[in-house]
């Protein structure tokens, strides 16, 4: 629990987390057990090898999240830094830079952030980042003025990547917890803003996901939702029978109109479409920091408007929605 304690200590001073803090810590303690997952000691051994002084300039509001030491380490220390960061591959989200080492991640997350950053004001907001990966967006939220960010992702590698980077950034107001959304206590709404990006289409029940997010938000809380969509009207949805873009855990790709309807059904209001964009090759691609396959491999080589399975090319929508200030329930039928 060592790596999470500074964040929990920070939240302990925030009144709106009084009811949720203890069960949140218990949820982390239940899963963060080396005996349950052999990757925990493997990756945390890399994190614990960090031996650079964390005094330097941190930039969280630029496309490349960066740390530049006041006294740059010797060449051999830079080599060790690169070795450690390579040991934590693949880097799917970024980009980051630590001193002279640039982590050119598979996803150019700065491009997505540019599409959503003006959708709401993060200033002094407490944010929950669902399916956060290594915390790139969480750190950008802090750079945009958020009071805190509770990032959650069940991937041990994502947690380790964040903790390694945070040895340099030295932030107590943000962390990545090894949790899925269903692990987060829901009976005490605590967050002002939720961001859920690239998660909804992996859920067998999109309504459970949206309703669970609503439960985590305080009255009047705000949501940024990003997911894969297809063209069509309010009745249009793609349910891939097998894979979509080589992913076997994709369930529902709605039209934008249907997605708006889902949000209303799940109890949100003030819904706005922030962005609709096709994923391009300069936004998701192979780099030295992510081997294997990427977007080029997921598309039909003879028809770039289709996935390799023949589905429409990946198109992503970002929507804004708000939890009502008070519950709005449908009137009961008088029978």
Q: How would DSSP label each residue in 80-107?
A: HHHHHHHHT----S--EEETTEEE--SB
pTM of the model: 0.95
Looking at residue 78, its pLDDT comes to 72
Looking at residue 333, its pLDDT comes to 62
Looking at residue 139, its pLDDT comes to 98
The pLDDT-based confidence of 335 (bands split at 50, 70, 90) is low
Q: 3-state class of 189 per DSSP?
A: coil
Mean pLDDT across the chain: 93
Looking at residue 21, its pLDDT comes to 96
Q: Would the pLDDT of 160 be above 90? A: yes
Superfamily of domain 2-322 in CATH is Vaccinia Virus protein VP39 (3.40.50.150)
Q: Would the pLDDT of 76 be above 60? A: no
The pLDDT-based confidence of 25 (bands split at 50, 70, 90) is very high
Q: Would the pLDDT of 177 be above 90? A: yes
The pLDDT-based confidence of 80 (bands split at 50, 70, 90) is confident
Burial class (CB in 10 A: 0-12, 13-18, 19+), 201: buried
Looking at residue 186, its pLDDT comes to 84
Q: Which range among 5-19, 76-90, 218-232, 233-247 shows the weakest confidence by mean pLDDT?
A: 76-90
In 3D space, the residue among 133, 168, 130 whose CA is nearest the CA of residue 150 turns out to be 130
Q: Which range among 35-44, 130-139, 172-181, 218-227 shows the weakest confidence by mean pLDDT?
A: 35-44
On whether the CB atoms of residues 317 and 275 are closer than 8 A, the answer is yes
The pLDDT-based confidence of 58 (bands split at 50, 70, 90) is very high
Q: 3-state class of 29 per DSSP?
A: helix
- What's the rounded Cα separation, in Å, for the pair 287 and 285? 6
Kindly state the average pLDDT of the residues 162-167: 95
Kindly state the average pLDDT of the residues 190-212: 97
DSSP 155: -
In 3D space, the residue among 81, 80, 2 whose CA is nearest the CA of residue 34 turns out to be 2
Looking at residue 50, its pLDDT comes to 74
Looking at residue 79, its pLDDT comes to 79
């Amino acid at each position: 629990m060592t790596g999470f304690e500074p964040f929990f200590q920070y939240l302990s001073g925030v009144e709106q987390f009084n009811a949720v803090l203890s069960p949140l810590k218990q949820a982390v303690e239940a899963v963060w057990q080396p005996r349950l997952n052999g990757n925990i000691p493997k990756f945390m051994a890399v994190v614990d090898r960090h031996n650079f002084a964390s005094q330097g300039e941190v930039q969280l509001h630029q496309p490349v999240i960066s740390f530049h030491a006041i006294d740059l380490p010797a060449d051999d220390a830079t080599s060790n830094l690169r070795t450690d960061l390579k040991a934590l591959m693949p880097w799917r989200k970024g980009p980051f830079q630590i001193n002279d080492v640039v982590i050119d991640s598979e996803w150019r997350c700065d491009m997505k952030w540019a599409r959503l950053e003006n959708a709401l004001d993060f200033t002094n907001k407490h944010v929950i980042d669902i399916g956060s990966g290594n915390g790139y967006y969480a750190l950008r939220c802090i750079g945009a003025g958020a009071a805190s960010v509770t990032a959650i992702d069940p991937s041990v590698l994502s947690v380790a990547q964040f903790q390694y980077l945070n040895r340099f950034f030295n932030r107590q107001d943000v962390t990545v917890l090894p949790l899925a959304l269903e692990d987060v206590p829901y009976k005490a709404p605590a967050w002002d803003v939720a961001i859920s990006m690239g998660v909804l289409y992996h859920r067998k029940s999109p309504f459970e996901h949206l309703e669970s997010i609503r439960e985590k938000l305080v009255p009047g809380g705000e949501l940024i939702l990003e997911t894969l969509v297809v063209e069509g009207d309010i009745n249009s949805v793609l349910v891939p029978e097998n894979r979509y873009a080589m992913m076997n855990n994709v369930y529902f790709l709605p039209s934008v109109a249907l997605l708006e309807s889902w949000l209303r059904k799940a109890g949100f209001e003030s819904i706005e479409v922030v962005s609709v964009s096709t994923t391009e090759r300069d936004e998701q691609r192979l780099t030295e920091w992510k081997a294997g396959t990427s977007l080029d491999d997921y598309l039909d080589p003879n028809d770039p408007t289709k996935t390799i399975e023949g589905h429409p090319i990946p198109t992503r929508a970002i929507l804004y929605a708000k939890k009502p200030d008070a519950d709005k329930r449908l009137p009961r039928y008088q029978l």
